[in-house]
Structure 1
Amino acid sequence: MQPRNMSMRGAVDLAAVKAAAEAAEKAEQARAARARQAQEGGGEAPSAGPLVFDVSEAEFEAEVVPLSAEVPVVLDFWAEGYAPAEELNPVLEKLAAEYDGRFVLARVDIRNSQNLARQLQIRDLPTVLAVVAGQLVPLFEGPAQEAEIRQLLDQLITVAEQRFGIVGEVGARSGSAAGEPAERPEPVDPAMSAAHEALDRGDLGGAIQAYRNVLAERPASVEAKLGLAQAELLQRVQGMDPQAVRSAGAERPDDVDAQLAAADLDLVGGHVEDAFGRLVDLVGRTFGEDRDRVRQHLLGLFEVIGAEDQRVVKARGALARKLF
């Protein structure tokens, strides 16, 4: 059975600029604190904590969110007695030991954390999410093979470093830091790095141009397409009055401009299915140039989320039914 890959591109993060800066600062403060403690104690820095631990909803805000400023935290939602979830636990624990501090694994027993599960919209078990710089990152739902999980973890670690400056310290939790240095992700190329940096500092015009420059040389770059789609979305919602946009969307259901703006606002607010449904319905009520304009805008929103996301797959099917 294939996992329902939710993709890290499923999260649209309007707070990325602020979060990246704050996360980098917190991580540096934590490293400095451990270094000072080691100097004052006259020995090696103490272990930063376990690689695998259990967490309840009461501990989520107090422990997981701050820790995510230092290292990617993978959340494993499971329940004792439910075989598919129990079978995934040892696989994730093995990978946590293998990656040795590049991420940590927090196990959440859904029976003891029902409010948290509702807040995070957990629909199935197992469900695996991640938290990076306080930002929730969907990974996958349902059973998954180790090789597939490994690919998602590698992507998570790379994004955490490139976009937020968060690098889990290898060996810091297992005490093996003095051994052979672990293999690090390949550094991002300068052109892509310039685009990401422009997006992180809020220079949306610069980011858009930088991503377009990358695509001019590498038209198939999925990462650049994603970055461009996100930057263009953020630029469109800049300066919007949310209340006015939502009112216009409700009062003028057939006004293309009003509905496109409302869909953008829906997506930025995390209401992905609402945004898609709004425009799919509008395609069914428009013709000619208006219909094509709505369709193209919807395809652009699909790029923001990622083609493999199940919400995109479902919306593509609905769009096809409206068109044909």
Structure 2
Amino acid sequence: MSDQNPHVNPSTVLRGAVDLSSLRNRPAPAEQAATPAVSGLVIEVTDATFGEVLQLSRTVPVVVDLWAEWCGPCKQLSPILEKVVTELAGRLVLAKVDVDANPQLAQGFRAQSIPMVVALVAGQPVPLFTGAVPEQQVRDVFDQLLQVAAQNGVTGTVDAAGGDTDADADTAEAPAEPELPPLHAEAFAAIEAGDYGRAAVAYEQALAENPRDEDARAGLAQVRLLQRVQGADLHEARDAAAAAPLQVDAQLAVADLDMAGGHVEDAFDRLLELFGALPSDERTPVRERLLELFGLVGDTDPRVGSARRRLTSLMF
């Protein structure tokens, strides 16, 4: 599995990236605790206690570290995650999941490769990255995650003992997050309600008023992606794509599902290979989809730069 997105574009929470529905109300066995074991800002999470973590993510963003004892890169990454979360002083919580001991969570997060790091914001997953990454990259991703959380209304903190702290209690120490512009707020409300069409209209109106509104542009790309993948079956889509390698719609469908699942490079590679294989008069839909996905991921992501260069070389 390729690395997940190490660049979180503000205003993008990729709903549907992982399926956590079966774990939301999972009853805890008698021999397991009903709530997560909290040590400072680090939580040890199990299949049974995950519902508590989802609830916590409505107050403060939760970073989920999927790891295993045998995983060398996990041992490199975990101390970095703990250090950065600790320095953020309660603005994030780190939830550690041993994938060997918690197979339902491993399956729910589609953890095909570890370490895998995903965030939860208001109960919704935000793919971050897989593999051991440098400390500065972790800091950059977490900074962007906090922007995403703020735009979703998740601005609380926890104290060192793990207790919730009223977000307003820290206003004297930290500047208040700016309110969302009205059209952005309308779009988020529509996303929360599952009305992606209404969210798209709000973002389109925001762009009409300010064509340089990059958050609106990224948000529009997100909701269009969500509209396309809603109700799609990954296995059926992959079978259809395998049966018709040059069928544009079939390949676009799998690329969308890869992107929604956080497999950015897989999505780009599929579309670039398709673009190169098609006659020049059939390439336009593929190029347009690539450009849309570039905007969703963000131009500062190095994978976008690499993919853009590949696209340019294929065009000329």
- After TM superposition, list the pairs within 5 Å mapping 1:25-174 onto structure 2: 51-53=40-42, 55=44, 61=50, 64-75=53-64, 86=79, 89-95=82-88, 97=89, 101-106=90-95, 120=111, 129-132=118-121, 133-138=123-128, 142-145=133-136, 152-163=141-152, 165-169=153-157, 173=162
Letter in 2 for 1:138: L
Give percent identity, aligned residues only. Answer: 38
Gaps of 5+ in 2: 25-36
The 3-state SS of whatever aligns with 1:55 is strand
Question: Which string of whole-angstrom CA distances, capped at 9 and with x for unpartnered residues, describes residues 84-142 of structure 1?
Answer: 864664444222x3xxx332234679999999699645667xx7643321514416952
- Residues of 1 paired with 2:299 and 2:113: CA distance? 21
- 1:252 Cα offset (Å): 2.0
- Residues of 1 paired with 2:15 and 2:156: CA distance? 21
Write 1 or 2 for the structure with the bigger share of helix: 1
Partner of 1:30: none
2:222 is equivalent to residue 199 of structure 1: no
Pair 1:49–1:8, CA change in 2 (3 A): same
- Residues of 2 paired with 1:129 and 1:240: CA distance? 22
Partner of 2:209: 217
Letter in 2 for 1:235: Q
Q: Is the 8 A contact 2:268 2:290 kept in 1?
A: yes
- Residues of 2 paired with 1:57 and 1:319: CA distance? 43
The 3-state SS of whatever aligns with 2:119 is strand
Q: Is the 8 A contact 2:43 2:93 kept in 1?
A: no
The 3-state SS of whatever aligns with 1:131 is strand
**What TM-score do the two structures reach when normalised by structure 1?**
0.66
Pair 1:59–1:182, CA change in 2 (3 A): farther
- Let me know the Cα RMSD of the aligned residues: 4.4
Partner of 1:286: 278
Partner of 1:304: 296
Larger radius of gyration between Structure 1 and Structure 2: 1
2:285 is equivalent to residue 260 of structure 1: no
Q: How many residues matched?
A: 284
Q: Is the 8 A contact 1:53 1:107 kept in 2?
A: yes
- Residues of 2 paired with 1:202 and 1:110: CA distance? 30
Q: Is the 8 A contact 1:273 1:311 kept in 2?
A: yes
- Residues of 2 paired with 1:257 and 1:88: CA distance? 40
